[in-house]
Each structure stands twice: as structure tokens, then as C-alpha cells.
């Protein structure tokens, strides 16, 4: 009987160790480095998300590490408006504490792809931003978007934004509430 109890304890410990994973956790708006902590995860995958935002001359690079969001694994999103760009890349890995990667953002192809979209950037309201301007879409950005949110960039107060421009399919399915230091309360997104 004693051997059976020891055997069951060993099996239980093995099962718990297999089902319990840790990932590194970093939430670093406008920084590509930060002190890592550890977080318990249910799944066996971790992720590292690199984000880049360009807004009228200001560059913001951000890093996020956490348990994997399977719907985003491998995503390379891009959107562009006249003086605004947002890009992200999500790398997922298998195993406990595997998300040791650094900031990584593959280049976007700058070649025009023939798609043209309305290009508008309005700050201060959540109404549709009207425009006569167009932008030539490039690389993987093969569709148009209309986006309205309450958001903020690091170091700035919350503002209302209404934006139109080019986007790729990965960015269309991205939850912009996850965008570090950008969107806080999405009101409307159409691709």
C-alpha cells in the first residue's frame, strides 16, 4: 500500500508539472527592454509581441511578453495613414519560460501594391473622419480600414481619434486594446 501511495504521488507530481507552465511577463510601453517577471499559464505556449507606432514624427517601440494568445501567434500586422503607422509581430514558443526573445519586428515591403484607400487622421472626436485624400497602400496592406478609439500615446493624456488608411489582414483581426500605450477603448473598427 505504501508503494502505491508513493507511486500515485509521483504520477500526480508529473501531471501537475506537465500542466503547469510559466512564461516571462513584460509590459513595457515605449521601451524595448524591461525587467522580466514570471507568470503562471494554463497552456504550454508563451509569446513575445513587438510593437512599433509612428505618429507625426514620434516613434514608439514597445515590448510585451505573456502567456500565448493563440489567435495572434505568428501575426505580422501593419497599418498606415498619411503620418501614422502601426506595426506588430507576435512570436510564440512552446515550453516553460521559452519567451526569452528580444524586440523583433520584420520589415514591411515598401512597394506599392495597387490598392488605394482614404487617408484621414482626426483627433478630438469619434465621428467619422471625412477626407478627400488617398494613400497608396504598400506590401501586405491590401485593404482599407476605418478606426475610432479613445486612446493615448505614452506620456500623453487620453484623446479621441478617428483614422482611415491601409491595413493588412493580421492587423484587422488584432485586438487594438492590446496595443501598448495606443488604444484604450475601441469604439469602431471596420476593415
- pTM equals 0.77
User: What are the grid coordinates assigned to 137, written together?
Assistant: 497602400
* Terminal-to-terminal C-alpha distance of the chain: 64
Residue extents of the structural domains in the chain: 22-190
Residue 6 burial by Cβ neighbours in a 10 Å radius (0-12, 13-18, 19+)? exposed
Name the CA dihedral angle for 191, 151, 162, 190, rounded to a multiple of 10 degrees: 10
| pLDDT tens digits, one per residue of 73-86 | 999 999 898 888 88
Assess contact for 80 and 163: CB atoms under 8 A: no
* Averaged pLDDT of the chain: 81
Q: Report the C-alpha gap between 51 and 182 in whole angstroms.
A: 10
Assess contact for 46 and 65: CB atoms under 8 A: yes
| pLDDT tens digits, one per residue of 19-33 | 568 999 988 777 777
The gap from C-alpha 172 to its chain's centroid, in whole angstroms, comes to 11
CA contacts within 13 A on the Cβ side of 188: 15
Of the pLDDT bands very low, low, confident and very high (cuts 50, 70, 90), residue 185 is low
Amino acid at each position: 500500500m505504501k508503494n502505491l501511495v508513493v507511486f500515485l504521488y509521483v504520477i500526480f507530481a508529473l501531471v501537475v508539472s506537465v500542466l503547469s507552465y510559466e512564461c516571462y511577463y513584460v509590459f513595457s510601453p515605449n521601451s524595448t527592454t524591461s525587467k522580466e517577471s514570471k507568470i503562471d499559464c494554463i497552456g504550454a505556449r508563451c509569446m513575445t509581441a513587438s510593437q512599433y507606432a509612428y505618429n507625426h514624427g514620434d516613434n514608439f517601440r514597445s515590448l510585451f511578453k505573456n502567456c500565448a494568445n493563440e489567435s495572434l501567434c505568428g501575426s505580422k500586422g501593419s497599418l498606415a495613414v498619411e503620418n501614422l503607422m502601426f506595426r506588430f509581430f507576435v512570436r510564440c514558443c512552446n515550453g516553460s519560460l521559452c519567451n526569452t526573445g528580444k524586440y523583433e519586428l520584420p520589415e514591411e515591403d515598401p512597394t506599392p501594391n495597387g490598392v488605394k484607400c482614404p487617408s484621414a487622421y482626426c483627433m478630438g472626436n469619434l465621428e467619422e473622419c471625412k477626407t478627400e485624400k488617398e494613400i497608396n497602400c504598400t506590401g501586405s496592406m491590401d485593404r482599407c480600414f476605418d478606426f475610432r478609439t479613445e486612446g493615448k500615446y505614452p506620456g500623453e493624456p487620453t484623446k479621441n481619434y478617428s483614422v482611415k488608411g491601409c491595413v493588412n489582414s493580421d492587423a484587422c483581426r488584432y485586438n487594438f486594446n492590446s496595443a501598448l500605450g495606443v488604444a484604450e477603448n475601441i469604439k469602431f473598427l471596420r476593415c
